[in-house]
A and B are shown apart, each in its own frame.
Chain A
Amino acid sequence: MSGELVQILEGNTFVVSDDRGDIESSLSDPTGLFSFDTRFLSRWVLTVNGQRLTALSTDDLQYFQTRFFLVPGGGSVYVDSRLTVIREREVADGFREELRVLNHDNQPADLQIRIDAASDFADLFEVKDALKKKGHYRARMADRQLVLEYQRETYVRETWISSSSPSDVDDGGLSFSITVPPHGEWKTTLDVVVSGGHAEGADRPTRIRGQRRVRRNMERGLEKWLRQAPRLECDWEPLEHIYQRCLTDLAALRFSTLSLPNRSLPAAGLPWFMTIFGRDSIFTSLQALPFTPELAATTLLALAERQGTRIDDFRDEDPGRILHEMRYGELTAFEERPHSPYYGNADATPLYVVLLDEYERWTGDSKLVRDLEHAARAALNWIDEYADLQDNGYVSYQRRNSETGLENQCWKDSWDSISYRNGDLPGFPRATCELQGYAYDAKMRGARLARMVWRDPAFADRLEKEAADLKRRFNRDFWVEDGEYFAIALDGDGRQVDSLTSNNGHLLWSGIVDKSKARAVARHLLGPRLFSGWGVRTMAEGEARYNPIGYHVGTVWPFDNSFIAWGLRRYGFKDEAACVVAGIMEAAEVFKGRLPEAFGGYPRKTTRYPVRYPTACSPQAWSTGAPLLLLRAGLGLEPQGDNLVVDPALPKRLGNLEVLDLPGRWKRMDAFGRGRVDTDRVTLR
């Protein structure tokens, strides 16, 4: 069934329907019109003379627009082929649907057109967990419009449905009695508007977000977005397609908050994660920085606005902490879920400082760094004051909300992702290794900003001293001597959680690894236990919990690999980075340009194609961003003062690669590279 689902979206409003354009949601079939994490239509069914329709074709015109070509009748035998019905749907604060009925006959056609409409106003969390509603429903007619309403105490959500031509409105939908002339056409426009209103008996909806955008603006917006992005040309043709796919998907993933309505940041994934996630928005902004730096600026502003300011155990909030996830649905409104926002992550706060510094290095926008000085200092303060749960100088996490909070507050957030070699699970708090790397990097970068922009050399000295101390201790305490890699974590007793994982790559990226240990780490990343041939596995073959299709215990994550490639470059392993670039780009080719969140960790030699891990979301923001960061790693793009350094080490197969008009403090610059690395022959001794 899922193969036939059609999705279109704009911001956090999206429609999932079947290939006829109909919505008939059930627990197993999560279709509907969703906005602000709430389902505003759970039924939307078109009939002609009481008959359902059959799809001839469905065209995705844009990510916010779809056209359905239909004929009356079901199955393969068309009951009435004298009619064509075209539904063209476009999302914008609800949706608008142009309905056209074409009569191909010599006789006039008398028709009963009917749209059934209903809504269960389910919270996205309820759709996932099948929970029962606590409020009550009502349908009313207002000025020839149908208003579907849900109310629980003062919480009111409504769906307003109207049409451009006269209709009979009842509490279950709209009916049209029409006659279409011979070889003629009838059309009407159906308007569905979501409302967060609570005005009793109002004659118009209370829009949740300003005025609806018109199609022309959205089309122009997408064109402009694509036009402003750097251009890419490559001898290996799939790369041009992958790049275009990334840009278009990033455009679709753009999300505006209520307080910053004219700016956009990357939401985490489409359609179920169209909201701010601290970690996902930061990682995606980092990946896209050389191409679309404005995403980073908005991410930094939006996350600062919601930075933690108090101790709140239900939300795992502390002063200075950067949020994990923001939601707007009923369960959040009634504090039955903590997402208002929820703060349970231990990485987004140091990564916030990393993004701020990286953004300045590329753009030279020191004004934003000054404006966000308070937020950045609060984030740095969080690392020492609130994240050191064991008073041992390491960032640890342990949820305080034991019912609806997150157990693992790092990017590998599934329950079994952190384990000892023998498969045992450690207790809490847990200090995972990459968190120490991010904290180190945040202090080093914070020091640079303090010296260059905030003019506080004493603070810079202190941060650098702390960073050096952290690095020294880390290389001693996390290093697994008999395996020559870094343990995934320290447990609550300070004991090493000693499995071999891809987290080692993030450590290279952060710079916390002693030079003397880097070669051994790189050897593992490209070695047979971690490297599948397509990419670096989340967990090494041979560990007790290794499973090539286990979510964080053996699959290959394109996002993870993009940061690993950047990390390999940081320590000078250019050819090894090119191997990761080659593997993930070739996987992207197989996936037609759109990388999934994760794919199977099977050795490439045994499966000719990467095996997709089944997830509900596509595109996923940080998978979309992965090829962009891999391009950066392959070309060796690095800002140095006011210049952009290009130092390519690209897979041979790519041939010539040009990326033109890269924006930055240098205004616009071009980067060229020629593939010279034979990735089949790279060996590290």
Chain B
Amino acid sequence: MAKGSAGSVAAAADPITQFFASLDEPGHLATFEGDSAEVEFDVLGVKKAERWHVSITNGDVAVSNRGGPADATVRIDRQHLEALVTGRLNAQAAFLRGLFTCEGSVSALMMFQRCLPGPPGSTGRVAPISSKTVMAQRGMR
């Protein structure tokens, strides 16, 4: 898979293009170390066929727009793909809802979803709650 074939369009503002470029440009993602898979995204409902092929080899990542043999092929609308790669839609939930189909290995898809971002606005912290507030919430003193 030729390196940089997807990165060349990274300048475009399109979030999908940006996302795949962010996988391709570093060329290696620690979260995929020890794992290998070929995952392809066929984008539905667009005039010109749009395809993203992600090759993962023990953490090394390459992205291209050419098709090829894949362990898992995902067919998905552009709007839902955009929601997935920006963290506005959870992959597992979307799969259960039937928002995309996955042909081939579910394991490969499970592995791929590790690189998807969390929801915008998630910070990982919340303000502490006092004992007094907890007691009040439970209708005690």
Instruction: Report yes or no: B97 in contact with A424, Cβ–Cβ below 8 A.
Output: no
Return the CB mask of B53-66 against A: 1 if under 8 Å, else 0. 00000000000000
Stretch from A60-68, A278-286, A332-340 forming part of the interface with B: A332-340
Give CA–CA (A425, B133) in the complex, Å: 10
Stretch from B7-15, B20-28, B41-49, B109-117 forming part of the interface with A: B109-117
B131 neighbours in A (Cβ, 8 Å): 424-427, 491-492
B110 neighbours in A (Cβ, 8 Å): 259, 305-306
Give CA–CA (A428, B125) in the complex, Å: 12
A335 neighbours in B (Cβ, 8 Å): 90, 93
B122 to chain A, nearest CB (A): 4
CB within 8 Å for A155 and B115 given contacts A371-B34, A398-B129, A427-B133: no
- Chain B residue, CB-CB nearest to A416: B138
Return the CB mask of A397-415 against B: 1 if under 8 Å, else 0. 0111010000000000001
CB within 8 Å for A400 and B124 given contacts A305-B107, A332-B93, A341-B92: yes
Chain A binding surface, main DSSP class: loop
Instruction: Report yes or no: A311 in contact with B124, Cβ–Cβ below 8 A.
Output: yes
Q: Please provide the chain B residues from 78 to 104 with a CB less than 8 Å away from any CB of chain A in the complex.
A: 87, 90, 92-93, 96-99
Answer whether residue B2 sits at the interface, using C-beta atoms and an 8 A cutoff: no
Most buried by B among A314, A335, A386, A415: A335
B133 neighbours in A (Cβ, 8 Å): 427
Most buried by A among B34, B97, B123: B97
Q: Point out the residue from A198, A389, A415, A416 that lies within 8 Å of B98, measured CB to CB.
A: A198
Give CA–CA (A309, B97) in the complex, Å: 22
Q: Please provide the chain A residues from 281 to 331 with a CB less than 8 Å away from any CB of chain B in the complex.
A: 305-306, 309-315, 317-318, 328-329
Q: Point out the residue from A154, A156, A373, A427 that lies within 8 Å of B129, measured CB to CB.
A: A427
CB within 8 Å for A333 and B96 given contacts A400-B124, A426-B131, A427-B131: yes
Most buried by B among A311, A314, A424, A491: A311
A389 neighbours in B (Cβ, 8 Å): 125
Give CA–CA (A47, B122) in the complex, Å: 55
Answer whether residue A202 sits at the interface, using C-beta atoms and an 8 A cutoff: no
A332 neighbours in B (Cβ, 8 Å): 92-93, 96
Interface size, chain B (Cβ < 8 Å): 39
Answer whether residue B33 sits at the interface, using C-beta atoms and an 8 A cutoff: yes
Interface residues on A, range: 35 or more
- Chain A residue, CB-CB nearest to B111: A305
Most buried by A among B92, B107, B117, B135: B92
Most buried by B among A306, A310, A312, A424: A310
Answer whether residue A258 sits at the interface, using C-beta atoms and an 8 A cutoff: yes
Give CA–CA (A334, B122) in the complex, Å: 19
Give CA–CA (A428, B127) in the complex, Å: 9
Answer whether residue A651 sits at the interface, using C-beta atoms and an 8 A cutoff: no
- Chain A residue, CB-CB nearest to B128: A492
Instruction: Report yes or no: B97 in contact with A155, Cβ–Cβ below 8 A.
Output: yes
Give CA–CA (A213, B66) in the complex, Å: 39
- Chain A residue, CB-CB nearest to B80: A154
A658 to chain B, nearest CB (A): 41
Which chain B residues have a beta carbon within 8 Å of chain A's beta carbons?
30-31, 33-34, 87, 90, 92-93, 96-99, 105-107, 110-111, 114-119, 121-126, 128-135, 138, 140
Which chain A residues have a beta carbon within 8 Å of chain B's beta carbons?
153-156, 196, 198, 258-260, 305-306, 309-315, 317-318, 328-329, 332-335, 340-341, 371, 373-374, 386, 389, 398-400, 402, 415-416, 424-429, 491-492
List the 5 shortest-distance A-B pairs measured between CB atoms, nearest first.
A333-B96, A310-B118, A340-B92, A312-B118, A154-B98
In the complex, 24 of the A-B residue pairs with CB atoms within 8 angstroms, ordered by the A residue number, are: A258-B106, A259-B106, A260-B107, A310-B87, A310-B118, A312-B119, A313-B121, A317-B118, A318-B124, A329-B96, A332-B92, A332-B93, A334-B97, A335-B90, A400-B125, A400-B126, A424-B140, A426-B134, A427-B129, A427-B131, A427-B132, A427-B134, A491-B131, A492-B130
